[in-house]
Amino acid sequence: MRILVLGAAGMVGRKLCERLLRDGRLGKSDITKLTMHDVVEPKKPEKAGFAVETVSGDFAVLGAAEKLIAGRPDVIFHLAAIVSGEAELDFDKGYRINLDGTRMLLDAVRLAGGGYKPRVVFTSSIAVFGAPFPDAIGDEFFHTPLLSYGTQKAIGELLLADYSRRGFLDGIGIRLPTICIRPGLPNKAASGFFSSILREPLAGKEVVLPVSEDVRHWHATPRSAVGFLLHAGTMDLAAVGPRRNLTMPGLSATVGEQIAALRRVAGDKVAARIKREPDPFIVGIVGGWPRNFNPKRALELGFTTAEKSFDDIIRIHIEDELGGSFVA
């Protein structure tokens, strides 16, 4: 089985590739080749049980998608995107990468010929939804994004479903919860604080909380995200039918509940490293975001999270990212 990962240098992409390298297989199929693509060259893994190719470049330019699929990957994980904050600040760049890039990829597959019909796993986002919301957003709630990023993802979902219905590819779109705790350095996503208010204190650093503690949001660990992707890459899509885009399971928690969990898992001293400094720009963006979901269909279709509580989310970060310890 040949696998292509777009956005392989991103946080989730990197973790997905690490897992594929570790497993050596996807579902029941041995991996024979993994192509890791990103706008910056993904770090080549030191050891691999199969061929690994790293490719860098802009995938939203003429001919780029055709080259990427020239080796006819059986499964394409499309994680490449301009994140929400940047897509809001740079209108043209967001549409060029998130809409045109996605469409060029789907069109390259459509026009490849020779009966080529790969599995395409598209990472969408809960940003396809826009306030006001019901208490828990159900699977049939409409998409009225309040960010260009969410608009671009909603369009990607529509294209994926239509191209799948037409038989050009076998697509499945998964709306990832906000990933928490996101490891590494802060990125340009407006949602960054949901992770940094936990990650930085655990590393002994002070951090700014830019919103109030009653902000509620929808979270899943990087470990869960990788699990969703692997399931999406292998599941039977006949059971999914024409509605190809699914909200993934997650945990709904307020910022206050996040901090309480941090206090329980790591102690008062760690939690005291959070400084409250409201930022009207972030407050404005986050005010329109979903708080809670009822992801019935995804659960029925076998998508599951690795965590049962926010304490688990913090523990998984300490285990997966910090080698089991934190700065008390």
Q: Between 66 and 162, name the residue whose CB sits nearer to a copy of itself.
A: 162
CB of 210 to a copy of itself, least distance (A): 22
Task: Kindly state the tokens that stand for 167.
Answer: 């038989």
Query: Cα–Cα distance between 224 and 229 in angstroms, integer?
Result: 9
Q: Between 193 and 293, name the residue whose CB sits nearer to a copy of itself.
A: 293
CB of 281 to a copy of itself, least distance (A): 16
Residues at the contact surface with a copy of itself, assessed by CB under 8 A:
91, 130, 139-146, 148, 151, 154-155, 158-159, 161-162, 165-166, 242-243
Query: Cα–Cα distance between 111 and 120 in angstroms, integer?
Result: 15
CB of 156 to a copy of itself, least distance (A): 10
Q: Are 149 and 87 in contact (CB under 8 A)?
A: yes
149 is catalytic: yes
Q: DSSP letter string over 177-229?
A: PEETTPPSS--S-TTTHHHHHHHHHHTT--EEE-S-TT-EEEEE-HHHHHHHH
Q: Between 280 and 324, name the residue whose CB sits nearer to a copy of itself.
A: 280
Query: Cα–Cα distance between 240 and 231 in angstroms, integer?
Result: 13
Q: Chain-centre distance of CA 56, in angstroms?
A: 20
Task: Kindly state the tokens that stand for 159.
Answer: 């294209």
Q: Between 41 and 139, name the residue whose CB sits nearer to a copy of itself.
A: 139
Q: Which helix (H) or strand (E) holds 93?
A: helix 91-94
CB of 139 to a copy of itself, least distance (A): 8
Question: Among residues 95, 116, 149, 163, which one is catalytic?
Answer: 149
- Residues known to be catalytic: 149
